[in-house]
Amino acid sequence: MIERFAWPWVFALMLLIPLMVWKPWSRRRGGLVYTRTTLLKGPGQSWRTRLQFLPALARSASCALLIVALARPQEIMGDTRTSTEGVAIEIVVDRSSSMEQPMAFDRQQLSRLEVVKRVAREFVLGNDESSPPLPGRTGDLVGLVAFAGFADTICPLVRGHAALDNLLGQIQTAQFRGEDGTAIGDALLLAAARLKDAEEGIQRSIRPGDRLPDFTIASKVIILLTDGQNNGERDPMQAAQLASDWGIRIYTIGIGDGAANANVFPSIFSRQGVDRDLLTRIARLTGGQYFGADDADALRRVYERIDEMEKTRIETQDLTDYRDLFTPFAMWGLILLMFDIALRTVVLRRTA
């Protein structure tokens, strides 16, 4: 489908077509001067006489088609590319037994883990109806780590968040004493290692022949949510130092910090509640910040602050390409030109 002409000024040549056609027909034809034309009446016009208009018609159509071809008819091949300078985020969720304690979520009481999961979903996917509203992390790389007595990667860093949302919903608190605990250091090390290799993961995803990735990592962030104190093998401060060396910021969130019922159902591994001092030192060492959250609204406000501090820049670039469509016009123009020549030199050629 023709959407534009690259050289529309070429259509001015159309004005020459009548001159090219009229000139051969404007010449005075030879004949005899005789006063009695009745003697010259023949049986009628021959087929050659009736087809005398065809060369002029073919020549006119040929010139018109060749002029259209010269004007370069084109089809617009548009392409919109979105380039994102975003954030790579690892959400690290405590799933120790103490996360079964109740926490307020929109006028109802749910477990801390369930509230953390629901508000994390709003943070990633967005929720315009929450208070405060959360815009979502569209275009960002988001991964998920859960920990109790040990840490697991639940979801690798992904930009399509549907799978992450599904896996987030499947996290459960530790059901057995052997898996319970609060291994904060282990979880931070695992999340930091995932973020350190984020660029390599993007490069590995590019297949031969693909264009360059449209996502670059502007910053790397760990969001740690826990309600207990570290009792794992690895020192959380050493993990935080390693994260700092790799350019990773850690935001720590004390779940239940400030709540009146912080230790209604304490686990054997977290009798003293949130270790605010440790979480504050971890955050400060990496350039992050510590927050306390004792209900869903407070947790949303924390995520709102993180959204303000960790901006994602998305640029949309319209790339326009054009496909030339002159070939059929030029081809038919040349065919008609040859037809004109054949008519004038062979079929309708004058023999006398």
CATH of the domain at 159: 3.40.50.410
Residue 240 maps to a domain = yes
Asked if residue 38 belongs to a domain, the reply is no
- Residue 154 sits in the same domain as residue 280: yes
Higher pLDDT, 252 or 313: 252
**Spatial separation of the C-alpha atoms in residues 105 and 297, rounded to whole Å:** 8
State the residue range of the domain holding 16. Answer: 1-21+46-72+326-352
For the chain, percent of residues with pLDDT exceeding 70 = 75
The reported pLDDT for the residue numbered 266 is 45
The per-residue pLDDT for 323 is 78
Judgement on whether residues 125 and 260 belong to the same structural domain of the protein = yes
C-alpha torsion sign, points 270, 276, 282, 283: positive
Q: Is residue 28 part of a domain?
A: no
d(CA 161, CA 301): 22
Please give the mean pLDDT across all residues of the chain: 82
pLDDT tens-digit map of 177-236: 888 999 999 999 999 999 998 877 666 655 555 555 566 788 899 999 999 899 988 999
Residue 280: pLDDT over 50: yes
Q: Which residue do the tokens 């840490």 mark?
A: 151
Based on the domain organization, do 183 and 287 belong to the same domain? Answer: yes
- The structural domain count of the chain equals 2
135 in the same domain as 211: yes
338 and 308 in a single domain? The answer is no
Residues 304 and 347 occupy one common structural domain: no
What distance in Å separates the CA atoms of residue 318 and residue 146, rounded to the nearest whole number? 40
Task: Examine the domain organization and report whether 303 and 336 are in the same domain.
Answer: no
Instruction: Look at 16-20, 103-107, 144-148, 319-323 and tell me which has the smallest mean pLDDT.
Output: 319-323
**Is the same domain home to 85 and 65?**
no
Are residue 67 and residue 153 in the same domain, yes or no? no
Q: With bands split at pLDDT 50, 70 and 90, how would you rate the model's confidence at 247?
A: very high
Ramachandran bin of 338, using left for φ above 0, alpha for ψ from -120 to 50, beta for the remaining angles = alpha
The pLDDT value given to residue 270 = 43
Residue 278 and residue 335 share a domain: no
In this prediction the pTM is 0.65
Is the pLDDT reported for residue 268 higher than 50? no
**Does residue 296 lie within any of the structural domains?**
yes
What pLDDT was estimated at residue 269?
A: 43
**In angstroms, how far is the first alpha carbon of the chain from the final one?**
49
| Residue 98 forms part of a structural domain | yes
User: Distance (Å, rounded) from C-alpha 6 to C-alpha 155?
Assistant: 50
Whether the pLDDT of residue 340 is over 50: the answer is: yes
Ranked by mean pLDDT, the top range of 19-23, 62-66, 344-348 is 62-66
Closest CA to 184 of 144, 149, 136: 149
pLDDT score, position 189: 96
Residue 41, domain member (yes or no): no
pLDDT at 44 > cutoff 60? no
Q: Is it the case that residue 115 has pLDDT exceeding 80?
A: yes
Mean pLDDT value of segment 112-134 = 93
Binned at pLDDT 50, 70 and 90, residue 79 comes out as low
The reply to whether 62 and 112 lie within a common domain is no
Residue 29 lies in a domain: no
**Is there a contact between 326 and 72 (Cβ–Cβ < 8 Å)?**
yes
Q: Which range is most confident: 6-10, 61-65, 247-251, 271-275?
A: 247-251
Q: Domain check: are 222 and 131 in the same one?
A: yes
Residue 64 is assigned to a structural domain of this protein:
yes
pLDDT at 298 over 60: yes
Indicate the pLDDT class of residue 265, thresholds 50, 70 and 90.
very low
The answer on pLDDT for 80 being more than 70 is: no
